[in-house]
Amino acid sequence: MERRCRTAKSQYLNRVITYMRDHLQENLTLTRIAREAGLSESYLNAVFKECVKCAPMDYYINMKMEQACYLLCNTDMHIYQVAQYLGYDNQYYFSRAFKKVLGVPPKKYKEMPRIPSAPMQVSC
């Protein structure tokens, strides 16, 4: 986080990011995240954009996709199981979201060779 975000804003962010991480298996909305943090949606958006350089929902989706990458590479879960685990009702919607963030569909990602110590990092 940038220097100007190391005060009360960073406390809000840490709380929100922890909440997001703890609820990756759900379909959170901006309204719910803001309510849980005790913030307005507009303030939450502003703090995220100032400190993290992306919108809170983009950050949440990226967190989900990082978890999806881990599950696809380190478990025997099928794509539909990963989608369900991460709260997607529809495997095809999950696949489109995955491709939008990572540039490749989950099936192709799962088949890609990679260095075990270098997991995929998703950023805004």
Structural domains of the chain, with CATH: 3-59 (1.10.10), 61-111 (1.10.10.60)
Give the position of tokens 């199981």.
81
pTM score, whole prediction: 0.86
Cα–Cα nearest to 124, from 24, 44, 56, 39: 56
CB of 53 closer than 8 Å to CB of 124: yes
pLDDT at 2 (0 to 100): 47
**Cα(20)–Cα(5) distance, rounded to whole angstroms?**
19
Q: How many CB atoms lie within 10 A of CB 24?
A: 16
Q: For residues 87 and 99, give the distance between their C-alpha atoms in angstroms, rounded to a whole number.
A: 17
Q: What is the rounded CA–CA span in Å between residue 52 and residue 20?
A: 14
One digit per residue, pLDDT tens: the chain, 124 residues? 445 566 767 888 999 999 999 999 999 999 999 999 999 999 999 999 998 899 999 999 999 999 999 999 999 999 999 999 999 999 999 999 999 999 999 999 998 887 655 555 666 6
Residue 63 near residue 21, CB atoms below 8 Å: yes
Q: Report whether 69 contacts 102 (CB < 8 A).
A: yes
